[in-house]
Chain A
Amino acid sequence: MRSGDSDDRRSRTATLESFADTIVPGEKRTPDDRAIAGAATGGGAVAAGAVELLEQPAPGLAAGLDHYAAGLNAHAEAYAAEHGVDLETGLPAFVALPFEHRTALVARLTAPGHPEKDGWVLLALFCTMAFDTAPHMRTADALAAGHPGLATMGFAPPQADGLWRFGEFSYGRQLADLHPATTPSGSPA
């Protein structure tokens, strides 16, 4: 699709990637990666598929993504002016903002009392989920593909039939005294 290749779309994607990378930071894809700041080792929310997830119909945010990106860049410009940060031209303002400033801005936008808090929390929520649940993929497939979030967390894989079962699950011994007033049904008195 032509529109998908347009500058606007590229700028939107980069802006959303920068936001996702602020929520769960990751390493740069290439040395000149700008959207991903490289603040942490291993893949972050972007590599986990945050933008792909946001663009799907299920979360319900797809129609608002232009607006989200524009809002982020407007806030970034205001923030940069306020803090005397020089923004490199030719990049969306939020992408141009250094990582610690992106972080401070996102903290501000999602703090109690901010008038737009709900919207930014929602965006952050799905970026987090992209990393720690990969809800745009079948979980078994995500694990098989080495999804960076589930791998980082050490989420154990399923059995061959795609279901999880843990045969070993208990230390198998009494580890505390029962409350003295426990009733015969096992409930508190």
Chain B
Amino acid sequence: MSAEESTDVLVVGSGFGGAITAYHLAAGGARVVVLERGPWLEGKDFEHDFLLGSSYTRVFDFVAGDGMSVLSGNCVGGGSVVYFAALPRAPRFVFERHGSIGRRMWPAALSRDSLDPWYDRVAEAIPVRKQDWSDVTYAGGLWAAACHHAGRTANPVPSGVDNSLCTNCNWMMAGCRFDAKQSLLLNYLPGAVAHGAEVRPLHEVQRIERTDDGGYRVHYDHVDGVDYRVHTGSGTITAKIVVLAAGAGATPVILQRSEEGLGALPHAVGRYFSGNGERLNTAVVNEDRVREVLGLDRGDGRAYLANQIGKGPVVASWDRLDAALPEYERFSLEQLYFPPGLGTILAQAAGPAGSPSWFGVAKKEMLRRWQSWLTVFEMVEDDNEGVFGPPPPTGNAYRISQQMLGRGTLSYQPTANTKRAWALADAEVKDILERDGLATVTPWTNDVVGAYTVHPLSSCRMGDDPATSALDDRHELRGHPGIFVTDGSAVPGALTVNPAMTIAALAERAVPGIVEAARARGVQVTYGAPLPGSGTTGPMVRSAP
């Protein structure tokens, strides 16, 4: 038997929390191994295809739970490969939220001011660009014009899309074939690889145990590249530092499964999950009214008919991000695109009462007008009411399909606060879009797969109070020195805007503390490498699986 493999730092997951920490630790001289459960695709691997087994289902993960379904990435680059790259910073009031605990949820060390320098770094590395009205798609323009007509403001959202390369194909959820979307495959990850980090795709971490010398042993399975239900082998690696960044739907599950080998976990592991208060509405617009009331015309006689065209969300209305409003009444409303399939099944037809809304005759009629759909994304303040049940045997779900679809253990029963916040946001969307007969608006149903989120957060959150947080303000797991959590699960609560920028800024901010902990454990590593892209990255070389 060969000696057990060891490394300085073992990173679990290659999304924002994993890629950013891996980059800095590798650039600082540490030996870094990144284990990623999904495949490694890039550029030309990303297909424009809904075929099961194409890049769309290879890189995507949909886990249905009890009252909440979670959508995320399943590939090297994590959520950044499938995301829409809308990258706003969280408003100031978010950091002052009390949520369900009656006092400030965020650690005292964190505020918008203290995070802004870290946001700046991410904005430079990705890079994040302000958007101009000429970059705004028809769907975004329609939403802006409707907001304006209703006396609201609307903003182009800062974005990680390079508009000079973008074709407005709206296939971003299958990965960007044109490298227009600046995923982590184009900045932090090639930077990490250039500095010697090893990224291993199709390696799913199952559990962690403590070793006799105070380090950790990480157990993983090899996942088949086509049928993710099949595991073809397993292995272990020991490490002095473990960075957990499997995403808020997976990190707590790995920890739950590790409790035997680690010892008691903080109470907040697998609790306080937030779906970022997400909810969607579908408007079916009246093309004539769009022309008459809003004066919109594509120049070829069509007023809109452009649901399919674009690059996800580009315009948001931030009028309700008002610090003077009480908690649970603040939200943003962002225009969005979801492709058919995931983006159509939950949309409800405005049929007669008592008739089914998400399937059947009326729904088919609604689908006939699909090019006239406008999707609006609400991000409200929810109540961190999600709780994970006992972990499944492997991964974070009982996988059903070969790829993408599984059943998880998350239970989310929205509180009165969350339901009221959704109702307020629904009413606002209706007020804006049904004005003067512009559209008919219905919310997506929560009765089919529960609520749903592409923004899982808070399931292993940081805070100052050990009773309601799993991590200290340096992202270290309480009672388990050397284990850091740097993904969305560390974020204390809903952000009222898209979260990736905040997750990334927090990961940047966590790095100096992780470097310090690594040095205390004898790892030769320094902090202070320039950001990736500043001449530090070469073309990405895929390491052997």
**Which residues of A are at the interface with B, using a C-beta cutoff of 8 A?**
22-25, 39-40, 44, 56-61, 103, 106-107, 110-112, 118, 121-122, 124-125, 128-129, 131-140, 149-150, 152-156, 158, 162-166, 168-180, 182-183, 185-189
The reply to whether B148 and A166 contact each other, CB–CB distance below 8 Å, is no
The interface on chain B, measured as residues whose beta carbon lies within 8 A of the other chain's beta carbons, has a size of 85
Which residue of the partner chain A has the closest CB to B53? A58
Residues 486-527 of chain B: 1 if any A CB is under 8 Å from the residue's CB, otherwise 0?
A: 000000000001000000000000000000000000000000
Kindly identify which residue among B156, B367, B370 contacts A186, using a CB–CB cutoff of 8 Å. Answer: B156
Determine which of A56, A136, A171, A187 lies in contact with B158 in the assembled complex, contact meaning CB atoms within 8 Å. A187
Q: Is the CB of A60 within 8 A of B405?
A: yes
User: Shortest beta-carbon distance, B311 to chain A, in Å?
Assistant: 8
Is A133's CB under 8 angstroms from B364's CB? Answer: no
Contacts of B26 in A (CB 8 A): none
Chain B residues near A107 (CB, 8 Å)? 356
Complex Cα–Cα for A57 and B405 (A): 13
CA gap between A121 and B119 in the complex, in Å? 41
Please list the residues of chain B having a beta carbon within 8 angstroms of any beta carbon in chain A.
48-53, 57, 64, 88-92, 119, 123, 128, 130-131, 133-138, 141, 144-145, 147-148, 152-158, 167-171, 177, 229, 296, 298-300, 305-306, 308-310, 315, 318-319, 321, 332, 339-341, 344-345, 355-356, 359-361, 363-365, 367-368, 370-371, 399-403, 405, 407, 447-449, 497
Q: Bound complex: CA of A40 vs CA of B402, how far in Å?
A: 33
Residues of chain B lying within 8 A (CB to CB) of residue A124 = 345, 359, 448
Q: Are B167's CB and A128's CB within 8 A?
A: no
Known: A186-B130, A186-B157. A23 touches B360 (CB 8 A): yes
Please determine whether B51 and A135 come into contact, CB atoms closer than 8 angstroms. yes
Nearest Cβ distance between residue B506 and chain A, in whole angstroms? 16
Minimal Cβ-Cβ distance residue in A for B294: A175
A178-B153, A188-B89 given as contacts; is B48 within 8 A of A170 (CB)?
A: no
Contact B298 A135 (CB under 8 A): no
Known: A175-B141, A176-B152, A188-B91. A139 touches B50 (CB 8 A): yes
- List B contacts of A39 (CB < 8 A): 361
* A107-B357 Cα distance, complex, nearest whole Å: 10
Chain A residue numbers with a CB within 8 Å of B308 are 155-156, 166
- Is chain B's binding surface mostly helix, strand, loop or mixed? loop
Asked if A188 meets B318 with Cβ closer than 8 Å, knowing A23-B359, A133-B339, A155-B340, the reply is: yes
Least Cβ–Cβ distance between A151 and chain B, in angstroms: 10
Q: Is A185 a contact of B158 with CB atoms below 8 Å?
A: yes
5 A-B pairs within 8 Å (CB atoms) are namely A24-B364, A168-B298, A175-B136, A175-B145, A178-B155
Contacts of A121 in B (CB 8 A): 448-449
Which one of B157, B305, B318, B367 contacts A152 once the chains associate, using CB atoms below 8 Å? B367
CA distance A141 to B455 in the complex (A): 33
The 5 closest A-B pairs by CB, nearest first: A176-B154, A165-B167, A186-B130, A153-B370, A58-B52
Partner of B309, one of A24, A56, A166, A175: A166
A23–B359 Cα distance when bound, in Å, is 5
Measured in the bound complex, the distance between the Cα atoms of B128 and A110 in whole Å is 43
A56 to B92, CA, bound (A): 50
- Chain A residue with minimal CB distance to B356? A107
Inter-subunit contact A189/B368 (CB<8 Å): no
Q: Which residues of A contact B119 (CB under 8 A)?
A: 185
When the two chains form their complex, are residues B364 and A180 in contact, meaning their CB atoms are under 8 A apart?
no
Contact at A171–B363, with CB atoms within 8 Å?
A: no
**Is B147 a contact of A176 with CB atoms below 8 Å?**
yes
Q: A169-B138, A174-B133, A186-B155 are in contact. Are A153 and B52 (CB under 8 A)?
A: no
Residues of A within 8 A of B51 (CB): 135-139
Contact status B133-A22, CB under 8 Å: no
**Which residues of B lie under 8 Å from residue A134 when comparing CB positions?**
50
Contact yes or no, B402 A60, CB < 8 A: yes
Q: How far apart are B486's CB and chain A's nearest CB, in angstroms? A: 22
